[in-house]
Chains A and B, each alone.
Chain A
Amino acid sequence: MLTKPVWITMSQKVLLNATEVNIILHRLACQLIEKHNDFSNTILIGIQPRGKYLANRLASMLKTDYKIKNLQLGHLDITFYRDDFRRSDKPLEANTTEMNVQVEDKKVVFIDDVLYTGRSIRAALTAIQSFGRPNEIELLTLIDRRFSRHLPIQPDYRGRQVDAINNEKVKVNWVENDGEDAVYVVKS
């Protein structure tokens, strides 16, 4: 929606439409319940900037559709922990961290929309230590781009696996931010 004029010049295909995204979100929610029961000892953490939308959506789904009470949710910004400071062309811009939760001795689930090189998750693993020592950390991603990892990091819960080549970009849109729920593969 925001970038419609640009889309025309790029070839893109729809990977998941709104219905498929919804089905996958319900499955991921159920998988989380299977492992974490009533979530009394669990904290969901959306990785900023884009993981926030997925984390918020899953949290509200767990609360309203699956009647989970007292769900704890945080948003973690990893900008200051990234390993490409002074190495990228554009300066790194930070986002808000909202961690009004205690992670010490808790089970933490990192939530991000796309798992690509694994470097963001590496940064998140360092960043979370500033807030305490979690008992366990898991990773949930909506899209897992196979064969593109730079680090030995794999998701515990995945929405869909994708084989996308390096000059392709996986873009996840959310109603809250982009006006629709959809996942695209964009060739640049």
Chain B
Amino acid sequence: MSELSVNHLLGIKYLNSQDIELIFKTADHFKEVINRPIKKVPSLRDITIANLFFENSTRTKLSFELAEKRLSADVINFSASQSSVKKGETLIDTVNNILSMKVDMVVMRHPNPGAGVFLSKHVNASIINAGDGAHEHPTQALLDSYSIRERLGTVKGKNVVIVGDILHSRVALSNIYALKLQGANVMVCGPKTLLPKHIEKLGVTVETNLRKALNWCDVANMLRVQNERMDISYFPSTREYTQQFGVNKAILDSLDKEITIMHPGPINRGVEITSDVADSKQAIILDQVQNGVAIRMAVIYLLASKIKQ
């Protein structure tokens, strides 16, 4: 198979395992490209991409922009904080105005879950979801799986635990879909208040004891505590959260195997992981960032090849 089954990347939920395999295979080639002396290919010379960020982002935005520029696409950027959205313009109006400038693809981050799906039904452009509220963040999940595959050889059959704020995390949901699709065993671990009800219906096991979870897993994906999304107090104090669910070097060393530590960033050092863990050889956090560019290049390239002239 050499073509994606979808015209937009709205979530991992809409992909099949061949799509993921194709994205990874294409990302392998782009990873080689971005390690060349000249890290650019001319494939997307005639494609224009709009990055619409209705919510703050640093690394995802940079990563997408770099991926687009490495593919030679023309890029326009848009941040909600400096736009007419503040003046009351609707999402469709904003996007249609941008599309009338002949834009072929839209990369969008939005605080509302389902914003990408909504947009894909109403505008004539290829949409990439760069995070929609607490729903999905597909490229992050793809780069996480890709990094696991790179470190451990395969994702299939591996035990992966996602630790932390599952309730507010789009990274968690996309990761669960992606990992299950590739045949991994998935566990979620965190305080009960931050675990959504009925999460086990997605085929994951639930654990509230971090040590048990770490003993079981090959990979631990440590999520950030998203204070900005918390309207009420979900745990008594940050210190207590760290004591129960923070990973430090002492815990890692006490395990009878060497597990891989991941983090989607930005890290709250000393909260979900300590500095010595984040900077240790077991952590592949910076590999994730590098792989992010290759994965996004692959997704953009594969979707762009489906845009008819």
Interface residues of A (CB under 8 A from B): 77, 79-82, 85-87, 90-97, 99, 126, 129-132
Query: Does the CB pair A130–B2 fall under 8 Å?
Result: no
Q: Supply 7 A–B pairs (Cβ within 8 Å), ascending by A.
A: A79-B29, A80-B29, A80-B42, A81-B41, A91-B2, A92-B305, A96-B32
Residues of A within 8 A of B39 (CB): 130
Query: Does the CB pair A130–B36 fall under 8 Å?
Result: yes
Known: A80-B43, A86-B309. A94 touches B26 (CB 8 A): yes
Contact of B29 among A77, A81, A99, A132 (CB under 8 A): A77
Q: Which residue of B lies closest to A99 (CB)?
A: B36
The answer, yes or no, to whether B236 is at the interface (CB within 8 Å) is no
Q: Which residue of B lies closest to A80 (CB)?
A: B41
Residues of B within 8 A of A86 (CB): 46, 304-305, 307-309
Known: A81-B42, A85-B43. A90 touches B2 (CB 8 A): yes
Within 8 A of A (CB), among B271-309: 301-302, 304-309
Query: Does the CB pair A130–B305 fall under 8 Å?
Result: no
Known: A86-B305, A86-B308, A86-B309. A80 touches B33 (CB 8 A): yes
Contact of A130 among B26, B37, B71, B301 (CB under 8 A): B37
Residues of A within 8 A of B306 (CB): 91
The 5 A-B pairs of least Cβ separation, nearest first, read A80-B41, A130-B38, A94-B29, A93-B2, A80-B43
If over half of B's interface residues share one DSSP class (helix, strand or loop), that class is named, otherwise mixed; here it is loop
Q: A49 to chain B: closest CB distance in Å?
A: 13
Interface residues of B (CB under 8 A from A): 2-3, 26, 29, 32-33, 36-44, 46, 71, 301-302, 304-309
Contact of A131 among B37, B40, B309 (CB under 8 A): B37
Q: Which residue of A lies closest to B41 (CB)?
A: A80
Q: A23 to chain B: closest CB distance in Å?
A: 36
Residues of B within 8 A of A99 (CB): 36
Tally A-B pairs: CB < 8 A. 54
Query: Does the CB pair A91–B41 fall under 8 Å?
Result: no
Query: Does the CB pair A131–B29 fall under 8 Å?
Result: no
Query: Does the CB pair A87–B309 fall under 8 Å?
Result: yes
Residues of B within 8 A of A131 (CB): 36-38
Q: Which residue of A lies closest to B29 (CB)?
A: A94
Q: A81 to chain B: closest CB distance in Å?
A: 6
Q: Which residue of A lies closest to B39 (CB)?
A: A130
Q: Which residue of A lies closest to B33 (CB)?
A: A80
Residues of A within 8 A of B46 (CB): 86
Residues of B within 8 A of A130 (CB): 33, 36-41
Residues of A within 8 A of B33 (CB): 80, 97, 130
Residues of A within 8 A of B302 (CB): 91
Contact of B38 among A79, A87, A95, A129 (CB under 8 A): A129
Residues of A within 8 A of B309 (CB): 86-87
Give the docked Cα–Cα distance between A99 and B33 (Å): 11
Query: Does the CB pair B305–A91 fall under 8 Å?
Result: yes
Residues of A within 8 A of B304 (CB): 85-86
Give the docked Cα–Cα distance between A36 and B71 (Å): 36
Query: Does the CB pair B2–A132 fall under 8 Å?
Result: no
Q: Which residue of A lies closest to B4 (CB)?
A: A91
Give the docked Cα–Cα distance between A90 and B42 (Å): 19
Give the docked Cα–Cα distance between A3 and B42 (Å): 34
Residues of B within 8 A of A95 (CB): 29
Give the docked Cα–Cα distance between A80 and B39 (Å): 12
Give the docked Cα–Cα distance between A77 and B39 (Å): 14
Residues of B within 8 A of A129 (CB): 38
Residues of B within 8 A of A96 (CB): 29, 32
Give the docked Cα–Cα distance between A90 and B71 (Å): 20
Query: Does the CB pair B37–A132 fall under 8 Å?
Result: yes
Residues of A within 8 A of B29 (CB): 77, 79-80, 94-97
Q: A167 to chain B: closest CB distance in Å?
A: 25
Query: Does the CB pair B37–A126 fall under 8 Å?
Result: no
Q: Which residue of B lies closest to A130 (CB)?
A: B38
Residues of B within 8 A of A79 (CB): 29
Query: Does the CB pair A126–B2 fall under 8 Å?
Result: no
Q: B217 to chain A: closest CB distance in Å?
A: 32
Query: Does the CB pair A126–B42 fall under 8 Å?
Result: yes
Residues of B within 8 A of A82 (CB): 43
Give the interface centre of A79, A92, A94, A130 by most chain B CB atoms within 10 Å.
Answer: A94
Query: Does the CB pair A97–B2 fall under 8 Å?
Result: no
Q: Which residue of B lies closest to A77 (CB)?
A: B29
